[in-house]
Amino acid sequence: MTTHFPFRLRPLVVSLLALYCLAWLSQDGNNSGRKKKEQPSFSDQGTQRGPVEFRAEVDQVVLHAAVYDKEDRLVTGLTKEDFSVFENKVKQQLTYFGQDDLPSTIGLVLDSSGSMRDKMEFVQKASHLFLDLSHPENELFLVDFDDEVVLEEDFTHDVEDIRDALDNIIVSGGTALYDAIYLAVERAHAGSEPKKAAVVFTDGEDRDSYYKFDELIDKIRESEVQVHIVAILDRDLKSEGGFFGIFKSEREKVKEKISSIATETGGKALFADEVEELEGAFRGIAEELRKQYRLSYTSSLPKDGTWREIDVVVNGAKEKGYKVRARKGYLAAK
């Protein structure tokens, strides 16, 4: 039996079939690229080369929260009574509260792909400013990435080691952004300081990673490592939505993914239009890392090894126009 489409429906059917084929080919292309690449690792990670499970092994849950006002300025001077913390919608009793300027373990993660050639000087300058403004006792490491990820400088408290490595980065290759963040989060997790972060700079969408976006999200949302990302997106990324504007543009999709990575960890995603804006972006992240609120509590829920959603609330935030940023959850101990 032959099926006949009304003449007016035929263009719509053809368009839908074309979209389906394009989506299928795109997915197939991603999968084929993934199969060709080996699972990435830092060459000197030793026993940490395999997957690291970020599961809470102690009773205390520690959070670092940043609060911003309507003008996007950091809010300081809040007290313990201004905060409420909920785990799986159950209010928790805070056992510690403070706004201490403590040292952190911080990984600088810089995109050194070929498209960075005319931006690297500005990125290096902004990175040096970040180091100037950071806590002088921070534990630091430096990662750079193109289509591969390299640990340029391992854990050090000597900021000059990082400065020297920054000035010797070579620009070339593609963009393995997800792999770089994945490995940097694992590395920061192994650091000696209680507060841990990765500060990432990139100028494009991921094209060469072994890890997929969903795998990266699963990894970072379980960690205690905050991921802050500064991005100047490649001008070649299309700003127009497909299929007469119904679907999101390439640029919108990339921005959404970058924002999701930072949001899941309680970090910050900043999008600069010009390289001259990088200094302000890096300055803001350095300031936030030193002015975050530190909160901890002992969970009132049973140790069952499940994922716990966390909501950090500033009382009266809606009326005051405050925005709170903190990690979204953790994997409980069994």
Note the pLDDT tens digit of each residue in 109-128: 999 999 888 889 999 999 99
Note the pLDDT tens digit of each residue in 144-190: 999 999 999 999 999 999 999 999 999 999 999 999 999 999 999 99
Q: What is the CATH number of the domain that holds 181?
A: 3.40.50.410
| pLDDT surpasses 50 at 329 | yes
- Same domain as 178, residue 243: yes
Q: What is the mean pLDDT of residues 49-77?
A: 77
Note the pLDDT tens digit of each residue in 199-220: 999 987 898 999 999 999 999 9
CA separation for the pair 162, 156 (Å, rounded): 8
CA separation for the pair 284, 96 (Å, rounded): 26
Note the pLDDT tens digit of each residue in 23-51: 444 443 444 444 457 888 875 443 343 44
Of 184-193, 240-249, 274-283, which gets the smallest average pLDDT? 240-249
What pLDDT score was predicted for residue 15? 52
- Same domain as 157, residue 257: yes
Domain annotation covers residue 28: no
Q: How confident is the model at residue 89 (pLDDT cuts 50, 70, 90)?
A: very high
Backbone angles phi, psi at 6, to 5 degrees: -55, 145
Domain annotation covers residue 34: no
- Same domain as 127, residue 143: yes
- Same domain as 175, residue 261: yes
| pLDDT surpasses 90 at 248 | no
Domain annotation covers residue 199: yes
Q: Which residue has the tokens 């507060």?
A: 195
Domain annotation covers residue 6: no
CA separation for the pair 324, 122 (Å, rounded): 30
Contact 230, 201 (CB under 8 A): yes
Return the SS3 of 141.
strand
Domain annotation covers residue 206: yes
Please enumerate in sequence order all residues whose Cβ is within 8 A of that of 129, keeping only pairs 6 or more positions apart, or say none.
279, 282, 283, 286
285: which 2 tokens? 């992240």
- Same domain as 93, residue 110: no
Q: Return the CA Rg of the chain.
A: 22
Domain annotation covers residue 261: yes
C-alpha dist (Å) from residue 58 to 13, 91, 148, 333, 334: 57, 19, 35, 8, 11
Q: What is the DSSP string of 187-246?
A: HHHT-SSSEEEEEEEESS---S-SS-HHHHHHHHTTSSEEEEEEE---TTS--SPHHHHT
Domain annotation covers residue 253: yes
Q: What angle, 0 to 180 degrees and rounded to 10, lies between the N-to-C axes of helices 278-291 and 120-133?
A: 30
CA separation for the pair 122, 142 (Å, rounded): 17
Please enumerate in sequence order all residues whose Cβ is within 8 A of that of 146, keeping only pairs 6 or more positions apart, or say none.
111, 112, 113, 114, 171, 172, 173, 174, 175, 176, 208
Range of the structural domain that residue 94 is part of? 60-99+293-331
CA separation for the pair 227, 289 (Å, rounded): 11
Residue of 99 and 1 predicted with greater confidence: 99
Q: Which residue has the tokens 């997800």?
A: 178
- Same domain as 196, residue 315: no
CB atoms within 10 A of CB 231: 23
Residue of 308 and 50 predicted with greater confidence: 308
- Same domain as 194, residue 138: yes
Q: How confident is the model at residue 272 (pLDDT cuts 50, 70, 90)?
A: confident
- Report how many domains make up the chain: 2
| pLDDT surpasses 80 at 240 | no
Note the pLDDT tens digit of each residue in 2-22: 445 454 545 544 454 454 444
Q: What is the mean pLDDT of residues 237-260?
A: 73
CA separation for the pair 152, 163 (Å, rounded): 11
Domain annotation covers residue 38: no
The H-or-E segment that residue 153 falls in is strand 149-156
What pLDDT score was predicted for residue 31? 40
- Same domain as 185, residue 134: yes
Please enumerate in sequence order all residues whose Cβ is within 8 A of that of 3, keeping only pairs 6 or more positions apart, or say none.
none
Q: How confident is the model at residue 297 (pLDDT cuts 50, 70, 90)?
A: very high
- Same domain as 300, residue 313: yes
Return the SS3 of 178.
helix
Return the SS3 of 6.
coil
- Same domain as 157, residue 300: no
CB atoms within 10 A of CB 192: 10
Q: What is the mean pLDDT of residues 268-292?
A: 91
- Same domain as 222, residue 305: no
- Same domain as 286, residue 145: yes
